[in-house]
């Protein structure tokens, strides 16, 4: 059963869980969501977590999602100001505050699912990154990564040299550093602005995850994809909550909410990204898009660049009892183990 078919099955399962849960909620967690209505965060993550929370607390706690309370870069303010109780954030939008969270973004040069990566990331966060207190004042309910970030172009590209001086969309942070090393001319754009910019010839390509081929219709305007195993980069996210929420419920309900968050919710986030990526690739293939693997020469160059960026990052964030390289090695060691762990698909089947 492929992920798209399984997604339909899981949706029905989620609905069944919800119908079976008595309406006794005493506490409502108000979630701010900046993804579009069809984004997997809204169709998979929030409804599944809601069902889990309601079941774990026997209906005493529920979740309500509100969309479009603000753009992604103001979500932390929305929580701090009490407009909402929980949300999801992209760490790359706040580089001055979040530096340790670059850890899962560096190229790995091997393929693995976003579900496994998100589970390994949660273990690494608990073991190392939480000590850095970068999410101070917030409860981190889960962390996760999106799928492999690749390069989409209007014209077919087979060599990094063909990208030199090309106007390529980047999202800042690690993406910008990688694009600078390759020699492209980076253009800062939100994902929602890429289709228009590409269709008007303002840019010739973009660095984004595979889900963007469908969700942002990039397959229609940038029909060629240059790939690296594991991606040129990954994006780091967190699901955060105002600590007053967990303080306001009983110890029993707090424990129940935490039992269906953490590693389990991180896996769910990664699973959602895997489903979205598969749907993006299928959409691109239907349109006849091309997929080209980067050459060994280019991958060797990318490895050198990545090693330099990791060294710079490790020197910057190490300290205060945190060894950045040790944390990165721990993350890499946990990846294959996380891949062998109990999958979200199996947990949904059991429910």
* Of 14-28, 167-181, 311-325, 333-347, minimum mean pLDDT range: 14-28
CB-side neighbour CA atoms (13 Å) of 91: 26
Nearest to 253 by CA among 59, 70, 85: 59
- Contact status, residue 169 vs residue 197, Cβ threshold 8 Å: yes
Spatial separation of the C-alpha atoms in residues 239 and 142, rounded to whole Å:
5
* Torsion sign over Cα 250, 253, 259, 263: negative
| DSSP symbol at 269 | H
Distances (CA, A) of 162 to 156, 204, 223: 9, 12, 16
Rg over CA atoms, the chain = 20
Over the stretch 250-300, which tens digit does the pLDDT of each residue have?
Answer: 999 999 999 999 999 999 999 999 999 999 999 999 999 999 999 999 999
| DSSP symbol at 319 | B
Query: pTM of the entire structure?
Result: 0.89
Spatial separation of the C-alpha atoms in residues 48 and 136, rounded to whole Å:
27
Pairing of strands 149-153, 61-67: unpaired
C-beta atoms surrounding 96 within 10 Å: 5
Banded pLDDT at 20 (limits 50, 70, 90): very low
CA angle 110, 331, 266 (to 5 degrees): 95
213: Cβ–Cβ under 8 A, 6 or more apart, which residues?
A: 152, 219, 225, 280, 281, 283, 284, 289
pLDDT, position 3: 52
Over the stretch 58-103, which tens digit does the pLDDT of each residue have?
Answer: 999 999 999 999 988 899 999 999 999 999 999 988 878 899 999 9
* Of 3-7, 97-101, 227-231, minimum mean pLDDT range: 3-7
CB-side neighbour CA atoms (13 Å) of 282: 10
**37, exposed or middle or buried, with CB in 10 Å at 0-12, 13-18, 19+?**
exposed
Over the stretch 191-212, which tens digit does the pLDDT of each residue have?
Answer: 888 999 999 999 999 999 999 9
CA angle 260, 257, 336 (to 5 degrees): 25
CA angle 141, 144, 147 (to 5 degrees): 160
- Contact status, residue 344 vs residue 268, Cβ threshold 8 Å: yes
CA 32 to chain centre: 16
Spatial separation of the C-alpha atoms in residues 262 and 281, rounded to whole Å:
29
Distances (CA, A) of 50 to 34, 45, 119, 172, 265: 17, 8, 20, 32, 11
Nearest to 325 by CA among 177, 98, 128: 128
pLDDT, position 24: 59
Give the H or E element holding residue 103: none
Spatial separation of the C-alpha atoms in residues 192 and 75, rounded to whole Å:
17
């Amino acid at each position: 059963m492929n992920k798209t078919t399984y997604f339909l099955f899981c949706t029905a399962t989620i609905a069944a869980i919800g119908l079976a849960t008595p309406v006794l909620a005493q506490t409502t967690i108000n979630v701010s969501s900046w993804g579009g209505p069809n984004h997997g965060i809204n169709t998979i993550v929030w409804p599944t977590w809601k069902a889990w929370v309601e079941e774990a607390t026997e209906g005493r706690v529920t979740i309500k999602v509100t969309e479009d309370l603000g753009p992604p870069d103001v979500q932390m303010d929305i929580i701090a100001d009490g407009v909402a109780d929980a949300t999801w954030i992209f760490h790359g939008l706040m580089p001055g505050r979040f530096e340790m969270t670059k850890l899962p973004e560096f190229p790995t040069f091997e393929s693995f699912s976003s579900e496994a990566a998100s589970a390994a990331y949660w273990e690494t966060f608990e073991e190392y990154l939480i000590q850095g207190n970068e999410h101070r004042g917030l409860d981190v309910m889960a962390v996760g990564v999106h799928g492999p970030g690749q390069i989409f172009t209007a014209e077919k590209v087979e060599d990094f040299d063909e990208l030199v001086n090309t106007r390529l969309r980047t999202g800042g942070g690690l993406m910008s550093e990688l694009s600078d090393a390759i020699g492209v001319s980076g253009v800062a754009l939100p994902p929602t602005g890429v289709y228009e910019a590409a269709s008007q010839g303002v840019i010739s390509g973009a660095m984004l995850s595979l889900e963007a081929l469908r969700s942002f219709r990039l397959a229609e305007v940038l029909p060629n994809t240059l790939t690296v195993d594991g991606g040129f980069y990954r994006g780091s996210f967190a699901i955060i909550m105002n600590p007053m929420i967990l303080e306001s419920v009983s110890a029993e309900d707090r424990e129940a909410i935490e039992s269906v968050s953490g590693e389990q919710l991180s896996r769910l986030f990664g699973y959602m990204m895997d489903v979205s990526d598969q749907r993006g690739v299928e959409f691109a293939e239907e349109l006849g898009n091309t997929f080209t693997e980067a050459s060994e020469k280019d991958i060797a160059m990318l490895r050198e660049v990545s090693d330099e960026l990791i060294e710079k990052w490790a020197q910057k964030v190490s300290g205060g009892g945190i060894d950045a390289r040790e944390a990165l090695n721990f993350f890499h060691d946990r990846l294959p183990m996380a891949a062998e762990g109990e999958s979200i698909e199996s947990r949904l089947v059991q429910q």
